[in-house]
Amino acid sequence: MNISPQFNHGAHEIFDVHEVLSCTIGALNKYTVLRSKVKDQELLDILDRQHQFMHQTYNTIVDCFQSGQDPAVPTKTYMMKENNTFKFGLTPTQPKKPIQSESEINDEIISGWMLGTAKSLATVKTGAAMETTNPVVRRVLADSIPNCIEMAYEISIYQNKNGYYQVPQLPITDMQAIMQSYAPAPVAVAAR
């Protein structure tokens, strides 16, 4: 059966891409609402760059989803400004608890929402890419997943630098014991 590229989509794909696009709209809306509440200029810069990038990615997905063909603007690569440096260890902090009013929203909460948003988009895009039959849409979704990961990583570095996200670390002897408990697999020769 000959199907035009525009309708070269399976049922799972239609529903999964619908979910990706709906979640992306939710993410864009969340970033728009949160923007006016951000106090830290660095977080505002991250939010603006991520919002702009998600906006373009959304348009790219819509384009190839509706046409079934290569989008006019291909998937780009998100480039974070953070420097990959984490502070390890725990320091005592106040216990976390839900806020009681909107006035309690701060940069820690906003950055947490941003992190959750990027992680959710990575998850929903991964699921959709595995159910997508149109090769162009599948590639666009698959190529956009590393960008979600990069955005989440950027936010986690920001949170760590500001003490919002602490990274516990095992004692070196424990790390070494676990890391050394694996060996490379021998090169397998194909059975004939």
Position 11 in a domain: yes
Residue 192 inside a domain? The answer is no
Q: Residue 127 pLDDT more than 80?
A: yes
Q: Write out the two tokens for 64.
A: 């190839």
Q: Are 162 and 108 in contact (CB under 8 A)?
A: yes
- Number of other residues whose CB lies within 10 A of the CB of residue 158: 23
* Domain contains 37: yes
Q: What is the CATH number of the domain that holds 23?
A: 1.20.1260.10
- Rounded CA separation 55/31 (Å): 11
Task: Give 188's pLDDT tier (boundaries 50, 70, 90).
Answer: confident
Q: Report yes or no on 95 lying in a domain.
A: no
- Model pLDDT, residue 1: 64
Please check whether residue 50 is in contact with residue 151, taking contact to mean a CB–CB distance below 8 angstroms.
yes
Reported pTM: 0.89
Name the average pLDDT for the chain. 93
Q: Which domain holds residue 57?
A: 5-83+104-180
